[in-house]
Structure 1
Amino acid sequence: MTTGRRLRAALLLTVTITALAACARDERPADDDAGARLPGAHAYRIDTDEGPREYRLYRPADLDRSPALVVMLHGGGGSARQAERAYGWDDVADREGILVVYPDGVGRTWNAGGGCCGQAARDDVDDVGFLLALIDELVTADDVDPSRIYVTGMSNGAMMSYALACSTDVTAAIAPVAGTMLADCPSPAPVSVLHIHGAADDNVRFDGGPGAGVGRIDGPPVPSVIEQWREVDVCTPPAVTTVGAVRHSVSYCAEGREVQLTTVEGAGHQWPGSEVVRDSADPPSAELDVTETIWRFFEANPRP
């Protein structure tokens, strides 16, 4: 039995999908029958052993048969609704016929390891279990292709994507943005990785060490995290290209996987190419469209 299946079995979750509310794109209430969900973005609830958890699901009108799934994890202080609004994944879903799910963390945070972050870490929330149950539900109810399950996240959400990859084998690829790996990761399953980071990020420092801001994230240097995944995936030495302020370091790996580190010179703690989240946040760089970059990476890296 794979690691992911063992974890799912251990959860003993009775999953019930209940519509909560419709978003502005479609004011009709969501159908509570998971097999007959309406197109558009709707809020749902999944019951777990730790209590109900909430998420938003965007389903395009023209959904592929056995579609790919992108799990978009908001940053610390963010939310499912904010992530849906800011990062442009609904437009990708409409164009590509994929599903995008936006889970909500407890207290707007994820328990991503290393004491991070906020309420989720203090309460030792089982966010890995929650995400596994959610993915399981979508594979069953929406006929998601198990070989095309992808996870991306911003900041604390990026850290959570690493935590999920470190302890399960359900993802084909992950794409952390402006985060680092804080979870224990002694023997992860191979997975394609695209890490995107602003070289001037003061909150989660590219070269490691304590960052500024709430929580003062003290993580390892990002290059060392990427080198660990290159070893896990049995990769070639990286080929480096630079286009303007953007530097790509790409390694090709066993079974067709890929590990890539992309840095944006002058960019801070942000999702380049996105909308401004709040006035106090670093303004997003216009040097790279991160959402499109991630989708191209995901599309090229299904599970072997």
Structure 2
Amino acid sequence: MRRLALLLPLLLLLAACSSPDKPRSGPTGLSEHTIKVGTLDRTYRVFRPPLPAGTPAPLVVVLHGAAGTGRQAEKSYEWDAAATKGGFVAVFPDGIRRTWNASPDCCGVAARDQIDDVGFIKEMVAEVSRASPIDPARVFATGISNGALLTYRLACETTLFAAIAPVAGTMINPCLAPRPLSVLQIHGKSDYTIPYAGGQGRRDNGGTGGLPVKIDGPGVEALNATWRKVDGCPAPTVTTTGYLTTTLAQCPGGRTVELIAVADAGHQWPGSDGPGPIASRLLHLDPPSMAMDATTTIWRFFLS
């Protein structure tokens, strides 16, 4: 009994030190991960800058375009630097064979095989949140092209995101009962892959064959109006500065629906380094516009 009495204070001290309420700090820097979703091993990269221990951080999901990868999106669009400066966690998932299942007819292998990319993103966000504290009210998604298409599907089929910011994309998925959320669209007015005015893009094959690509969605201005209606927004203000025309609506609940149209810009991420001359030539890619820095603009939108 005397020995137990002597040990009791030590046991209480150890219990206090191992309390589950102790703040987590999470890993810092870049890490690579694999998770099982259904029968598939899915991969993603996480960049976590130094953050205050135990303080829930915002999370930005960055979706690459067709033929891209998470690593390519991380490097090309400089999200690591933005995360370090802004104090948020950035995650870069990989599509199956470099494609995302944005709708039954698009795009590529992911659509052909009906890959559950929505389920993957949900599982990935949950796993990242278990590894370090993430603020569930500040989870955001952005992406380009095929990745932008998937952001709209995520907005329609999940309740994860407070805001999305598709770049060079439109909505081709069914969206019967969308919930209000903030939306920023960035789109080149000379984009012929996903045309600004809507309709078929130059890579459209009608959604047939082994690599289906059917992109026949609404014009970005009409889609912007759709999301203003979803959010119950008043009429927007329209301003033009240089190459940029901004359509901005401040909506109930502190939400914002915004469109930035970039004159003389094609299918690309404004302000990025671009894919390089060889890839641009082989894949017929447009050079990035330098009229704006899309990454900085998107983070400011999410932050607001």
TM-score, normalization: structure 2? 0.85
Q: 1:61, CA displacement in angstroms?
A: 2.5
Give the AA of the match of 1:230. R
Tell me how far 1:116 sits from its aligned partner: 0.7
Does 1:40 pair with 2:44?
Answer: no
From the superposition, tell whether residues 162 and 218 of structure 1 become closer, same or farther in structure 2 (CA, over 3 Å).
same
- Report Cα offsets for 1:114-140 as digits up to 9, x if no partner: 511000000000100111111112222
Inter-partner Cα distance in structure 2 for 1:121 and 1:114: 6
For residue 55 of structure 1, what is the aligned residue in structure 2? Answer: 44
Kept in 2: contact 1:203–1:216 (CA 8 A)? no
Deviation at 1:41, TM superposition (A): 1.2
Q: 1:183 deviation in Å?
A: 0.7
CA distance in 2, matches of 1:179, 1:243: 22
Partner of 1:96: 86
- Using the TM superposition, give the Cα deviation of residue 97 of structure 1 relative to its aligned residue in structure 2, in angstroms: 1.6
**CA RMSD between the two structures:** 1.4
**Contact 1:159–1:181 (8 Å) recurs in 2:** yes
State the shift of 1:243 in Å: 0.7
Aligned partner of residue 146 in structure 1, secondary structure: strand
The answer to whether the Cα contact below 8 Å between 1:79 and 1:108 also exists between their aligned partners in 2 is: yes
Counterpart position of 1:151: 141
User: 1:216 deviation in Å?
Assistant: 5.8
Partner of residue 271 from structure 2, selected from 261, 270, 273: 273
Runs of 4+ in 1 over 4 A off after TM superposition: none
Q: What is the 5 A alignment of 1:183-202?
A: 183-202=173-192
1:71-110 to 2 correspondence within 5 Å? 71-110=61-100
**In the aligned structure 2, how far is the partner of 1:63 from the partner of 1:114?**
42
Whether contact under 8 Å (1:168, 1:188) holds in the other structure is no
8 Å CA contact retained: 1:234, 1:254: yes
Q: Kindly state the Cα deviation for residue 62 of structure 1 after the two structures are TM-superposed.
A: 3.5
Please tell me whether residue 237 in structure 1 is matched to residue 251 in structure 2. no
Task: Give 1:139's match in structure 2, choosing from 120, 129, 133.
Answer: 129
CA displacement, residues 239-279 of structure 1 (integer Å, 9 cap, x when unaligned) = 01111000100011111101001100000000000011132
Corresponding residue number in structure 2 for 1:221: 219
Measured in 2, the distance between the counterparts of 1:241 and 1:276 equals 27
The secondary structure found in structure 1 opposite 2:166 is: strand
Q: SS state of the match for residue 134, structure 2?
A: coil
Q: Give the stretch that moved more between structures: 195-204 or 40-49.
A: 40-49
Q: Which SS does the other structure have where 1:121 is aligned?
A: helix
Deviates more, 1:199-208 or 1:216-225: 216-225
Partner of 2:141: helix, strand, or coil? strand
Aligned equivalent of 1:260: 258
Q: Distance in 2 between matches of 1:219 and 1:121?
A: 16
Is the 8 Å Cα contact of residues 63 and 99 (structure 1) preserved in structure 2? no
Identity %: 47
Q: Counterpart of 1:249?
A: 247
Q: Of 173, 176, 197, which residue of structure 2 is paired with 1:207?
A: 197
Distance in 2 separating the partners of 1:262 and 1:293: 10
Instruction: Give how far 1:141 is off.
Output: 2.2
TM-score by length of 1: 0.85
Is the CA contact 2:104–2:114 (under 8 Å) kept in the aligned structure 1?
Answer: no
Unaligned runs of 5+ in 2: 1-23, 205-212
Matched residue SS, 1:148:
strand
SS of match in other structure, 1:68: strand
Which residue identity is paired with 2:262?
V
Q: CA deviation at 1:48?
A: 1.5
Q: For residues 264 and 205 of structure 1, what CA distance do their matches in structure 2 show? A: 13
Give the conservation status (yes or no) of the 8 Å contact 2:106–2:214.
Answer: no
What aligned pairs does 1:166-185 form with structure 2 within 5 A after superposition? 166-185=156-175
1:59–1:99 Cα contact (<8 Å) kept = yes
- Write the letter of the residue equivalent to 1:212: R
Q: Structure 1 residues 125, 297: CA separation in 2 closer, same or farther (over 3 Å shift)?
A: same
**Helix, strand or coil at the partner of 2:143:** strand
Structure 1 partner of 2:292: 288
